[in-house]
Structure 1
Amino acid sequence: MNTHPPDNANTAVTQTAPLMIARQAVLDQHRAVFGYELFDRSVAPHRHTAASDAQLLFNALSAADSEFLSGKKTIFINCTHDTLAGGHLDLVTPDNVVLEIPPLGVTELEQIQTRLVRLQEITKRGFRLAFDYSALTRSYETWLPLASFIKIDLAVVKPSTLASYVNLAQARSSAQLIAEKVETAEQYEAACALGIRLFQGYWFSKPVLIQGQKIRPAQAAILHLINLVRQQASTHEIEEVFKRNPSLSFNLLKFINSASFGMRTEVTSFKHAVMLLGLNRLFKWAALLMTTSQPGDALPAVGTTAVVRGRLMELLAAETLAAEDSDHAFVVGVFSLLDTMLGVPMQAALSALNLPDNVSAALLENTGPLAAYLRLAVACETGDDATFAEAAATLNLSSKQINGAHLDALAWAEALT
């Protein structure tokens, strides 16, 4: 499980634990994905070095589709002050990158003015900077004009003092505020009420179960399509589903005529589209559409997380499993948050679907050949080191393989939006 650093990186990179790239979504006030924070969970936050930062950047640059770092979403990357002085950032296009700058230690406060020069140089190159709420103290007043983002940690800042921090930030800077470690609906609502418009936290992917919630007509059509495909129905029966559902047929033709599908001539017939896709890919496409067809006030970020999981699992399963099982791995990933999206328990969410046994086993019992892939995908989101190591060992996958697939999955999900 080796991850190779760039030639000019500090040799200490090779002595660290295998790199584990984790991510967390940054959401806007509509609870849609604004960007992602990438961080190395194989190193404790207080032990990050220029070398470990270089390793993270090198993996992001070499393993991911270039669209990931030049796409529409903003990428937040943690940096040490030594990283800012190194040459690693010369490799990165700054347009959509935010560098998260840590405060200095108590014994280093006399270096604030010295560090200011480097921060000013970085912003002139086009990078945006994010500071934590300590930048609002008088010691850091010369840094504050450089802030594009200020993060307020709700696990540390008490509810009674949150308004004071927000008012101070709004009065002294033009930075966008990010409430991080949002764990409850109450925290989210309080931050919104104070004018905060960007958020991070596990609350956004937790299920809110509402017993008996009805499935919307569009979703019912997708469920019907999935069941017909699983029953290996005739092309005529499947074609009829599309004829009766304009939005479903529009999505199918849009997908099959997209550049990613690679057709040389435009496909206008539903029958032709169904035959070109085949049942396996049609099943996978319908699962993806089910995930991105959000009911009511379900969280858009949940759908994005599910899509990333599915693509990550598909890429990793393709290393060792048959093509059909790789397709099933994709379905497990995109359906793994179906309870959250539909607002019902997973058992109820899957009861209307005719799914393969290995898909149901992974989703309902955490067993079977696809369960380890799901555990690994979730560990990549949460930074669960123990589960990451256990699942990677079970699947005989290296950190390099996992990190590359993870970044490719993020790029692929980004291209869908």
Structure 2
Amino acid sequence: MFIARQPIFNKAMKIYGYELLFRSDSSAVSFGNASSVSATAAVIGSLFEQGIDQVVGKSKAFVNFDYDFIMSDNIELIKPETLIIEVLETVKVDAALINRIKSLKDKGYQIALDDFEESYGSYPIVPLADIIKYDIMVTPLDTITADIKRALSQKKLLLAEKIETEEEFQKALRMGFHLFQGYFFCKPKIVDGSSPRRFSKVQYSMILSELSKDEPSYDAITEIIESDVNLAYRMMRVISHKKGESAFNSIKYALVRMGLIDLERWISILMLQDISQNKPLELMRLSLVRSRFSEYVADNSIYQNRKEEISMMCLFSTLDVLLDQPMEKALEGMLISKDVFNALVHRKGDLEPFCRLILSYEQGDWPAVHKYAEVIRIDTKILYKGYLESIEWSSKILTSFQ
């Protein structure tokens, strides 16, 4: 079973919820050999057992349901304050469905119409819908202005899906949309002739440089950290939270307790946090999930001995967006391997399949996931476990930085 999530933002670029993408097996384009009911039930049952909070936190979970599953009683496994029921555009509308939706609404569930392209005035589920999703690739924004005005007058929440550029986001925002889904948030805003965001990587690079030596010096690293009171303060907070202790006698002692591998990871995260202050928190979260997930994938593949390198590569995969610079420029002066540079900048080389697998998993492109999993020789059946563990780990990390 595969499961991934795609973020849904509000107008302030805060997370409103996640759409959950899933399949019953790695090679399935839709539901594989299983029926839609059994495939969906498997995911809902798993989320119920493990706790859906692990996947979506305190946000909403948007899940696609077809006719058969809406009519089943499995939906009630998840509390209405968490679940948004997305009615697929292919669902046959009849009296039984209408009555079932009314029953679910009476229990507190919100109803969303997925990829809506029907007649707004005559489609029978519209009066029952709380959220209407428009796929702007199927229904361009300019073609639905009248429907948008009508929906807004009826207090519907409007969600624009497949938003891929800042321009599309701004246009949908001006039209009155409330929610936004797509990968526009993880693309750099590069404008010719403008000054890119500036960020000093000197101290972080000095620490990472020392860590890359055959015999790193804790004294040298301590001296670098102590040269910046803000860095020293934040590092001590992070280390203290990680170890669960109240105090350390010195920064050097704290670093020794942490260990070199964890120190390298945390220095990298501190650096990303510094440059993500004016960016959506989801970018930082995405970097952390990618980092941990790729480490898990590497550890269970033929690249086990390169897992730290692969983890750092995926942690830095959003650096171009955070700095609003081309990736090549963003990586300038950073001590990374040629394989990492080629994978992030040129999308080629020995480590490129890891980037492809992680991105394919995020987008729910399960055939591509299967393809790249074969390249790096990992059993696709264990990816689900690693992905959920990565989400949980990223939440703990973000908590420690607050």
Q: Would you say 1:355 and 2:339 are equivalent positions?
A: no
Q: Would you say 1:54 and 2:41 are equivalent positions?
A: yes
Q: Is the 8 A contact 1:256 1:267 kept in 2?
A: no
Q: Is the 8 A contact 1:65 1:411 kept in 2?
A: no
Residue equivalent to 2:231 = 248
CA distance in 1, matches of 2:119, 2:248: 57
Distance of aligned partners of 1:161 and 1:375 in 2 relative to their CA distance in 1, 3 Å threshold:
closer
Bigger drift between 396-405 and 44-53 goes to: 44-53
Aligned 1:206-245 pairs, distance under 5 A? 206-209=187-190, 213-217=196-200, 219-231=201-213, 233-245=216-228
Q: Which runs of 5+ in 1 are unaligned?
A: 1-18
Q: Is the 8 A contact 1:65 1:407 kept in 2?
A: no
* Larger RCO (CA under 8 A, 6+ residues apart): 1
Displacement of 1:191 after TM fit?
A: 1.0
Distance of aligned partners of 1:257 and 1:130 in 2 relative to their CA distance in 1, 3 Å threshold:
farther
Residue equivalent to 1:305 = 286
Q: Is the 8 A contact 2:31 2:39 kept in 1?
A: no
Q: Is the 8 A contact 1:135 1:144 kept in 2?
A: no
- The root-mean-square deviation of aligned C-alpha atoms, in Å, is 3.1
Displacement of 1:97 after TM fit?
A: 2.1
CA distance in 2, matches of 1:311, 1:98: 28
CA distance in 1, matches of 2:258, 2:305: 14
CA distance in 2, matches of 1:203, 1:330: 24
Alignment match of 1:147 (pick from 125, 129, 148): 129
Question: SS at the partner of 2:231?
Answer: helix
Q: Is the 8 A contact 2:289 2:394 kept in 1?
A: yes
Residue equivalent to 2:296 = 315
Residue equivalent to 2:323 = 342
CA distance in 2, matches of 1:346, 1:167: 40
Q: Is the 8 A contact 2:199 2:275 kept in 1?
A: no
CA distance in 2, matches of 1:152, 1:382: 18
Aligned 1:142-221 pairs, distance under 5 A? 143-144=125-126, 146-172=128-154, 174-209=155-190, 213-217=196-200, 219-221=201-203
Aligned 1:93-104 pairs, distance under 5 A? 93-103=79-89
CA distance in 1, matches of 2:21, 2:306: 30
TM-score for the superposition, normalised by structure 2: 0.84
Question: SS at the partner of 1:402?
Answer: helix
Give the partner amino acid of 1:138.
Answer: G
Distance of aligned partners of 1:412 and 1:166 in 2 relative to their CA distance in 1, 3 Å threshold:
farther
Aligned 1:20-169 pairs, distance under 5 A? 20-40=2-22, 42-44=28-30, 49-61=36-48, 67-69=53-55, 71-103=57-89, 108-109=92-93, 111=94, 113-132=95-114, 133-134=116-117, 137-140=120-123, 143-144=125-126, 146-169=128-151
Displacement of 1:370 after TM fit?
A: 3.7
Residue equivalent to 2:312 = 331
Displacement of 1:192 after TM fit?
A: 0.9
Give the partner amino acid of 2:257.
Answer: L
Residue equivalent to 2:374 = 393
Displacement of 1:175 after TM fit?
A: 3.3
Bigger drift between 95-104 and 208-217 goes to: 208-217
Residue equivalent to 1:292 = 273
Residue equivalent to 1:14 = none
CA distance in 2, matches of 1:235, 1:247: 19
CA distance in 2, matches of 1:126, 1:269: 54
Q: Which runs of 5+ in 2 are unaligned?
A: none
Distance of aligned partners of 1:95 and 1:247 in 2 relative to their CA distance in 1, 3 Å threshold:
farther
Q: Is the 8 A contact 1:242 1:248 kept in 2?
A: yes
Displacement of 1:264 after TM fit?
A: 4.6
